[in-house]
Amino acid sequence: MGDGILVVTAVEAEAEAVRAGLVSDVLTVAPVGVGPAAAAAGTARLVALAEAAGRPYRGVLSAGIGGGFPGRAPVGGTVLATRSVAADLGAESPDGFLTLDELGFGTTSLPADPALLEVLRAGLPQAVTGAVLTLNTVTGTAASSAALLARHPDAVAEAMEGYGVATAAAAAGLPFAELRTISNPIGPRDRSAWRIGDAFAALTAAFATVGQKL
C-alpha cells in the first residue's frame, strides 16, 4: 500500500472495472462507500495508513460512474473534472440557493491538480472536461437539472463522492483529480435509459489507457 496513486471508488463494482483495465499493480484501487462523507472518511483513512507505513501516496484519483448532462457528456463517454463541486452544500433563501462561499463558511469548489489532469487529458483526448458536481441526492427532474446548470454553467456531470475525496486529498496536501464514465443522462429519472454496463466498460478502457501513465 502506498507509493503510487490511490484510486478511490464508491463501490466494489467500480473498483473491479478499474482493476480490469490495469496491467500491473502500479495503482492502489479501493472502494470507500457511497456519498461525500463516506468518501472523505475512507480516503483520509487510506492516506493516513499509507503515511504511517512510510509509503505515502503521491496523488489521489476519484473514479467511478456518474450521470452526464445531456448535450455535454454522452452516455458511455468519459469525463475529467476541472473541479469537483459540493453542489448541494449551502442554504436556501428567498432569493435562491446560497453556497458556502456566499455564506462565508468555506468553499464548495476544489480544483483538479493541473499536472495530474494534464496526464489524464493526454491519455484520454476524447474525454469531456468540466466541473463534476458532487450531490447527496441524485438529480431526478428537469427542473433540478436546470437549476444546477444555472448555478454551475461549466458542469458536465454529477456523482456522489468527488468533493469528499478532494477534501481528504487537500487536507493531506496531495494532488487530486476526478474521472467519471457516464451511465445515464441527468434529468427525469428513467432507469430504462441507464447503461451501467457501458459505463463500466468505459471505465475499464480508460484505465487501460492511462493506468501506466499515472
pLDDT tens-digit profile, the chain (214 residues): 456 999 999 999 999 999 999 987 779 999 999 999 999 999 999 999 999 999 999 999 999 999 999 999 999 999 999 999 999 888 888 888 888 787 888 889 999 999 999 999 999 999 999 999 999 988 888 988 998 899 999 999 999 999 999 999 999 999 999 999 999 999 887 777 789 999 999 999 999 999 888 8
Residue 8: its pLDDT value, please? 98
Instruction: Say what the pTM is.
Output: 0.93
Specify the CATH number for the domain of residue 203. 3.40.50.1580
C-alpha cell at 159: 456523482
Number of domains in the chain: 1
9 phi, psi to nearest 5 deg: -120, 170
Q: What is the longest distance spanned by two Cα atoms in the chain?
A: 54
Domain range enclosing 104: 5-210
pLDDT digits (tens, 9 = 90+) for 101-134: 878 888 899 999 999 999 999 999 999 999 999 9
Amino acid identity at 99? T
Q: Give me the DSSP letters along 47-107.
A: HHHHHHTT---SEEEEEEEEEE-TTTS-TT-EEEEEEEEETT-EE--TT--EEHHHHTS--
